[in-house]
């Protein structure tokens, strides 16, 4: 490792911190949020260093236990940059593999670079989740949500991996601002720009999640039309633009193909084979026909892994997810206990609906604990503002 490489690492960390602070200043957050950003950044760097040491100790060459897909991303990217044209070599490959190859082409085949960028995406979520929670219940709720995100075990783990889940979660959180903005009489330009950035990230990395974004938007617009309180022209423009984007872009084709694959018998057989290869496969889900299996998988997307799976978990990553899930049962109980207060308020109601929409999208994924554990990260993240929520007649505002 030479000085230039270390400088690259430091530059990525510095840019991450400055962008997070810029987001915080954009929303006029108190200085305490910057301290939380520093804490979250430091904690993730520490996790990365510890996991790297552990990885090399196990002889995994910097890869983490459970990072099966990371081998594929890294392997395809390394092969591509050593070919005549790395872009042509990756034609038809996953967009995230192209992103990793682009970084390797710029900085050399160093997996620490994309891992640090994923770490940076996770840190950018801190001021964003604070802002969402602040809109729900004020500053204290915002601080609690931001701290919970910093200490969230799966968020910390996946944010320093070579996988794309941290970037996808950032995209989904950003998209949440557009969903909230549409519920207002006048859409805030800042919320719109953040939302569009989020949609662009999601459409390139996990386009099937666009349905989770569209569902609360369409329900919200539908209720506005029903109550006669809608900005008719604005909502019609939003619907038309959504239809155009869905029907003319590759993201729309990917969603249609993925849905068709997930609900066809041939596709289901292939999905079952892949899902049941490891110890995390959910055999019960594979017993149901394609048309309703997502309904069977939905409870697993929200509640699995169950405590009983501690005994049969074959990998330490599943042990981590099971212990974390036990804690989430307690957090779910808090949300359920405060459901009337949450659902009576527009912002809390929309965030809850958005999170549930993501759980539905996750239920179309592989019936495998490992896939669910990663894919639902965005849904759990969006529930954080609702955990310490308490009804305040006039909400505190940081701005």
* Same domain? 27 vs 76: no
Q: Is residue 392 part of a domain?
A: no
- Residues 275 and 317 reside in one and the same domain: yes
Query: 304-328: per-residue pLDDT in tens?
Result: 887 766 555 455 666 777 788 889 9
Give the separation between CA 247 and CA 69, rounded to whole angstroms. 30
State the CB neighbour count (10 A cutoff) for residue 295.
12
Q: Using the Cα atoms of residue 233, residue 251, residue 12 and residue 144 in order, give the sign of their dihedral.
A: positive
* Statement to judge: residues 87 and 189 lie in one domain: no
- CA-CA distance, 350 to 320, in Å (whole number)? 30
- Within 8 A by CB and 6+ apart from 144, the residues are 133, 387, 388
**Mean pLDDT, the chain, whole residue set:** 87
Nearest Cα residue to 235 out of 226, 357, 99: 226
pTM above 0.75, yes or no: yes
Do 86 and 178 belong together in one domain? no
Same domain, 272 and 195: yes
How far apart, in whole angstroms, are the C-alpha atoms of residue 196 and residue 50? Answer: 36
Residue 212 reports pLDDT greater than 70: yes
Question: What is the DSSP secondary-structure string of 368-390?
Answer: BHHHHHHHTHHHHHHHHHHHT--
Same domain, residue pair 37 and 75? no
Among 53, 87, 105, the domain boundary falls at 105
Would residue 394 count as lying in a domain?
A: no
Residue 80 covered by a domain: yes
Q: Are residues 237 and 314 in the same domain?
A: yes
**293 or 1, greater pLDDT:** 293
Question: Is there a contact between 34 and 24 (Cβ–Cβ < 8 Å)?
Answer: yes
Question: Please, is 106 exposed, middle or buried when counting C-beta atoms within 10 Å of its C-beta (0-12, 13-18, 19+)?
Answer: exposed
Domain-located, residue 10:
yes
Please, which pLDDT band fits residue 286 given cuts at 50, 70 and 90? confident
Residue where a domain terminates, one of 51, 82, 105: 105
User: In the chain, what is the straight-line distance between the N-terminal and C-terminal CA atoms, in Å?
Assistant: 44
Domain range for 96: 68-105
Q: Looking at the structure, do residues 88 and 145 belong to the same domain, yes or no?
A: no
- Is residue 399 in a domain? no
Same domain, residue pair 222 and 80: no
Based on the structure, what is the number of domains in the chain?
2
| pLDDT above 80 (res 115) | yes
Q: Is residue 118 part of a domain?
A: yes
Highest mean pLDDT among 238-247, 254-263, 286-295: 286-295
Is the C-alpha dihedral spanning 203, 208, 212, 214 positive or negative?
Answer: positive
Q: In a 3-state reduction of DSSP, which class is residue 281? A: strand
Tens of pLDDT, residue by residue over 22-61, are 999 999 999 999 999 999 999 999 999 999 999 999 898 8
Q: How confident is the model at residue 399 (pLDDT cuts 50, 70, 90)?
A: very low
């Amino acid at each position: 490792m030479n000085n230039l490489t270390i400088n690259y690492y430091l530059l990525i960390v510095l840019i991450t911190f400055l962008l997070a602070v810029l987001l915080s200043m954009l929303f006029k957050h108190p200085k305490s949020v910057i301290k939380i950003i520093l804490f979250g950044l430091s904690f993730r760097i520490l996790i990365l260093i510890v996991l790297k040491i552990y990885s090399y100790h196990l002889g995994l060459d910097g890869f983490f236990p459970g990072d099966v897909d990371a081998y594929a991303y890294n392997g395809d990217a390394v092969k591509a940059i050593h070919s005549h044209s790395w872009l042509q070599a990756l034609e038809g490959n996953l967009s995230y593999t192209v992103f990793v190859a682009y970084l390797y082409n710029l900085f050399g085949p160093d997996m620490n670079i994309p891992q640090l960028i994923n770490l940076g995406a996770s840190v950018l979520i801190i001021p964003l989740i604070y802002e969402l929670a602040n809109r729900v219940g004020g500053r204290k709720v915002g601080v609690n949500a931001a701290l919970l995100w910093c200490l969230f075990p799966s968020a910390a783990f996946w944010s320093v991996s070579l996988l794309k889940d941290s970037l996808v979660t950032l995209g989904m959180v950003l998209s949440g601002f557009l969903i909230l903005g549409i519920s207002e009489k006048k859409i805030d330009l800042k919320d719109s720009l953040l939302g569009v950035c989020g949609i662009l990230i999601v459409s390139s990395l996990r386009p099937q999640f666009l349905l989770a974004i569209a569902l609360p938007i369409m329900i919200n617009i539908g209720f506005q039309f029903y109550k006669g309180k809608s900005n008719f022209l604005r909502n019609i423009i939003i619907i038309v633009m959504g239809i155009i984007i869905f029907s003319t872009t590759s993201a729309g084709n990917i969603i249609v193909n993925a849905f068709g694959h997930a609900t066809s018998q041939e596709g289901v057989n292939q999905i079952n084979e892949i899902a049941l290869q490891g110890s995390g496969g959910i055999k019960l889900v594979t017993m149901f026909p394609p048309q309703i299996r997502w309904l069977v998988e939905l409870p697993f997307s929200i509640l699995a892994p169950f405590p009983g799976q501690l005994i049969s978990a074959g990998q330490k990553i599943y042990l981590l997810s099971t212990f974390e899930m036990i804690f989430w049962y307690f957090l779910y109980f808090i949300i359920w206990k405060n459901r009337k207060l949450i659902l009576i308020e527009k912002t809390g109601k929309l965030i809850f609906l958005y999170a549930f929409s993501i759980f539905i999208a996750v239920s179309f994924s592989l019936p495998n604990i490992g896939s669910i554990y990663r894919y639902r990260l965005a849904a759990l993240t969006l529930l954080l503002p609702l955990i310490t929520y308490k009804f305040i007649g006039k909400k505190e505002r940081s701005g």
